Amino acid sequence: MAETETQEVTLDEIVALCRRRGFIFPASEIYGGFANTYDYGHYGVLLKNNVKAEWWRSMLQERDDIVAIDSAIIQHPRVWEASGHLEGFTDPLVQCLGKCKRRWREDDLREAQQTGELKCPECGGDLTEPRRFNLMFETHMGPVPDDAAKAYLRPETAQGIFINFKNVLQFARKAPPFGIAQIGKSFRNEITPGSFIFRTREFEQMEMEFFVPPGEAPGWHRRWIEERMRWYVDLGLRPDRLRLREHGPEELSHYSEATSDIEYLFPIGWSELEGIANRGEFDLNQHARFSGEKLEYFDQEKGEAYVPHVVEPAAGVDRSLLAFMVDAYDTEEVEGRTRTLLRLHPRMAPVKVAVLPLVSKAGMPERARVVYEELRSRIPAEYDEGGSIGRRYRRQDEIGTPWGVTVDGQTMEDDTVTLRDRDSLEQVRVAIDGLGDELAARLERPWSSPKPG
Ligand code: GAP
């Protein structure tokens, strides 16, 4: 796909659907909104839970060399000294000296303007000299807001893993190569948040630190790049919307020996979805130096201790969710009407099956409710009897429900229902007895997007 190509769906269409169907809305809306912050509604929560559940499944359930952790958001301030964040987690900030006085990231402007003296993209004004701006959010522990009480909201979940290396080694009975995985909120005082949930100041990360014998790091780095790319494709992202980009030496973070980004073709163009870094021994060495604790693994067989190297796949929950929505969004003409739908992988879909009585009479709602209550104990199901059947299907299509079960007149005679497929619109008649098994089997089948690449 050409570099300049963009998605067929716009960010505005995604934002509108998210709002219309209650996935995501602007936070603090009754106070006029608040600086690119967002709240997740019911279907947004369900979809986000599925993103996280699939990540945990791939990290914990489908292998036995990774354990979980949930560390504190506010850690000892020395953590951020050791990690290099206090010193180096900065962006170059410039401010417009002209009319608008807006602040920009100098590196973004340089990328966009390429040559000549940089000017404010908003009003064309001159800009200040760049100054380093630290992205960490400051807070205070306890009642006195002085320097001694200063603390930080974590800008990445990774450090909570490194500082627990010794605890995990002791209790998890693991030896390198092994990993520690964490999902949780991170905070960055981004200069230019934007593009909906793509870049916000409060977001969730899914990070795994994989500790390996030093010589094995480059090989594991390659394996984790493949694993993580496969995860997105297996969950339905179209492979030609994904690509790998290796960081050049000038772009590498202070801790990284090598980093490759998995990029997705978002409506704003190709952008980072996940970074996979070989962090070497940087973090364990730093925390050993600052804390005075030995952070090593003792190899019994060789009779020697070593500092493991770390390979880190670091993904964003919100950014992944956005990619899954963008990839799934589709519209098509059906019998003269435009149908909007989310062709989500069934495992990603917030609701797997909707149970709908054809009409609200003749015993159909009661029968449908029984079918729904049987199904919901096995898979996420929704019951809906409000409005015409066409309107209810359109609603389910827009939230990405892969299957619809309709209870109609025939159901009352022979205990069968129609089972509608969201993508093909095919409807088949199936017996209520065995419906749960059929849907559970469908949920486990491999799936790929029916949208053309
Ligand atoms: N521990 C390494 C690390 O944090 P990163 O590339 O800065 O690496 C990892 O972040 C992932 O977290 C990104 O690929 C992205 O998906 C997500 N992420 C980072 N900053 C974000 C932001 N401001 N808003 C939303 N997601 C963000």
The pLDDT tens digits for 366-405 are 999 999 999 999 999 999 998 999 999 999 999 999 999 9
Query: CA torsion, points 62, 65, 70, 72, in degrees to nearest 10?
Result: -150
Angle at 308 between CA 155 and CA 57, to 5 degrees: 60
Q: Is the pLDDT of residue 2 over 50?
A: no
pTM greater than the 0.85 cutoff: yes
Query: Token pair of 51, please?
Result: 């993103």
Q: What is the rounded average pLDDT of the residues 295-303?
A: 95
Nearest CA owner, ligand 1 atom 20: 199
pLDDT of residue 403: 98
**Would you place residue 114 in the very low, low, confident or very high pLDDT band (cuts 50, 70, 90)?**
confident
d(Cα 64, Cα 179) in Å, to the nearest integer? 9
Query: Looking at residue 291, what DSSP letter applies?
Result: H
Confidence bin at 3 (pLDDT 50/70/90)? very low
In the chain, the percentage of residues whose pLDDT exceeds 90 is: 91
User: How do residues 198-218 score in pLDDT, each as one tens digit?
Assistant: 999 999 999 999 999 999 999
- Best residue among 272, 273, 278, 312 to mutate for probing ligand 1's pocket (most ligand atoms within 8 Å of CB) is 272
What's the mean pLDDT in 36-64?
98
241-245 mean pLDDT: 98
Average pLDDT estimate for 441-450: 92
pLDDT at 216: 98
Which pLDDT tens digit goes with each residue over 350-359?
999 999 999 9
Give which of 215, 222, 217, 219 is closest to 255, Cα–Cα: 217
| Sign for the pseudo-dihedral over CA of 332, 337, 338, 339 | negative
Query: Can you read off the two tokens belonging to residue 27?
Result: 């936070």
3-state secondary structure of 57: helix
Arithmetic mean of pLDDT over the chain: 95
Residue 6 has pLDDT above 70, yes or no: no
Grade residue 8 by pLDDT with cuts at 50, 70 and 90: confident
CA separation for the pair 230, 327 (Å, rounded):
16
Q: Are strands 416-421 and 403-407 parallel, antiparallel or unpaired?
A: antiparallel
Helix (H, G, I), strand (E, B) or coil at 77: helix
259 close to 277: Cβ distance less than 8 angstroms: yes
Spatial separation of the C-alpha atoms in residues 181 and 55, rounded to whole Å: 10
59-82 residue pLDDT tens: 999 999 999 999 999 999 999 999
Tokens of 104: 């920009």
Residue 447 CA: distances (Å) to CA of 234, 287, 322, 347, 402? 7, 44, 19, 9, 12
Q: What is the mean pLDDT of residues 26-42?
A: 96
What amino acid is encoded at 228 in this protein? R
Q: Residue 341's pLDDT is what?
A: 97
Instruction: Indicate if the pLDDT at residue 241 is higher than 70.
Output: yes
Closest atom of ligand 1 relative to the 207 alpha carbon: 1
91 contacts 136 by C-beta, under 8 angstroms: no
* pLDDT score recorded for residue 108: 87
Phi-psi domain of 410 (left: phi exceeds 0; alpha: psi -120 through 50; beta: other): alpha
Query: Measured from the CB, is residue 326 less than 6 Å from ligand 1?
Result: no
Atom of ligand 1 minimally distant from the CA of 156: 4
| pLDDT tens for each residue of 170-195 | 998 899 999 999 999 999 999 999 99
Lookup: tokens for 181: 């995985």
Between 116 and 422, where is the model more confident?
A: 422
Ligand 1 atom nearest the C-alpha of 188 is 23
Tell me if 319 CB under 6 Å of ligand 1.
Answer: yes
Distance 256 CA to ligand 1 centre (A): 15
Q: Three-class SS of residue 343?
A: coil
Indicate which atom in ligand 1 lies nearest the CA of residue 261: 14
Rg of the chain over CA atoms, in angstroms? 25
Mean pLDDT of 99-118: 89
Q: Whose CA is nearest to atom 18 of ligand 1?
A: 316
The percentage of residues in the chain with a pLDDT greater than 70, rounded to a whole number, is: 98
Distance CA 229, CA 221 (A): 12
User: Environment class of residue 246 by beta-carbon count within 10 Å: exposed (0-12), middle (13-18) or buried (19+)?
Assistant: exposed
